[in-house]
Amino acid sequence: MAKGGSVVVFGGTSEIGKRLAIHYATQDRVVIVTSRDRERAEATAGEVGGHCTGISLDLSKPHTIEAALAGIDNVEHLALVAVERDENNLRDYNIDSALNLVTLKLVGYTEAIHVLAPRMHEQGSIVLFGGLAKDRPYPGSITVSTVNGAVSTMVHTLALELSPLRVNAIHPAVVGDSPYWLNKPEGVLEALRARTPSGELITVDEVVDATVFLLENRAVNGVNLRVDGGWMLM
């Protein structure tokens, strides 16, 4: 018999999402991981083990989210980890790619919360994933920076409207061992390391640990947590 309410990880097939799911599965919790692809969701649930199941759901199609979440109940924690990156710039602006990311995080995250909040425990909590591109823009980050900035303001309204549920956001810097960055040329990673006071890029496990802190610590509410090894100090 599993313990407590369930933990739903949107974007559970990402390395961060999967290791967060494993954290809770090893604590004997019911865990649900999502992917756009049912087979990938089920395969990930198999890797996570314990009481984990996988469902398919596309956050960039908000009208379909309610039906995709039918049958999920008794929820304690939600983690909204999903992203589809939009490397976009003003000279060669791709409207569809921008709309996809804006819809995924701003409307998709919100609709998923809208659907599941009434099925959550009073002491439940929610974490949204933003990122430090909100403070450290780069050429090509027009949508990513804007969307992460919006995530940081969304948590405030959500925390007020959904009280007593707690809502926080995590804003990681470059996660050095995440698949997106792992395959970058060493020179790129070395330059980033040199600009990080801790001398190391943050890791998937550190992001998972910080996410668990936001989900579990009952004093933390409406917070945007920077997880960056001191990167923003340089």
Q: Which residues would be at the binding site for ligand NAP (CB under 6 A)?
A: 11, 13-17, 35-37, 40, 57-60, 81-84, 104, 129, 131, 172, 174-175, 178-181
- The 8-class DSSP code of residue 107 comes to I
Looking at beta carbons only, is 82 or 159 nearer to ligand NAP?
82
Q: How far is the CB of 227 from ligand NAP (least distance, A)?
A: 9
Sign of CA dihedral 57, 104, 121, 19: positive
Measured CA to CA, the distance from residue 46 to residue 50 in angstroms comes to: 8
Measured CA to CA, the distance from residue 36 to residue 65 in angstroms comes to: 11
Q: How far is the CB of 102 from ligand NAP (least distance, A)?
A: 12
Measured CA to CA, the distance from residue 56 to residue 68 in angstroms comes to: 7
Looking at beta carbons only, is 22 or 175 nearer to ligand NAP?
175
Looking at beta carbons only, is 27 or 97 nearer to ligand NAP?
97
Q: How far is the CB of 137 from ligand NAP (least distance, A)?
A: 13
Place of tokens 């559970």: 12
Looking at beta carbons only, is 123 or 180 nearer to ligand NAP?
180
Looking at beta carbons only, is 75 or 227 nearer to ligand NAP?
227
Could you please report the per-residue DSSP string of 119-147?
Answer: GEEEEEEEEEE--GGGTS--TTBHHHHHH
Looking at beta carbons only, is 40 or 119 nearer to ligand NAP?
40
Q: How far is the CB of 115 from ligand NAP (least distance, A)?
A: 14
Contacts of 102 (CB under 8 A, 6+ apart): 143, 146, 147
Q: How far is the CB of 218 from ligand NAP (least distance, A)?
A: 24
Q: How far is the CB of 164 from ligand NAP (least distance, A)?
A: 26
Cβ atoms of 59 and 77 closer than 8 Å: no
Place of tokens 């943050």: 202
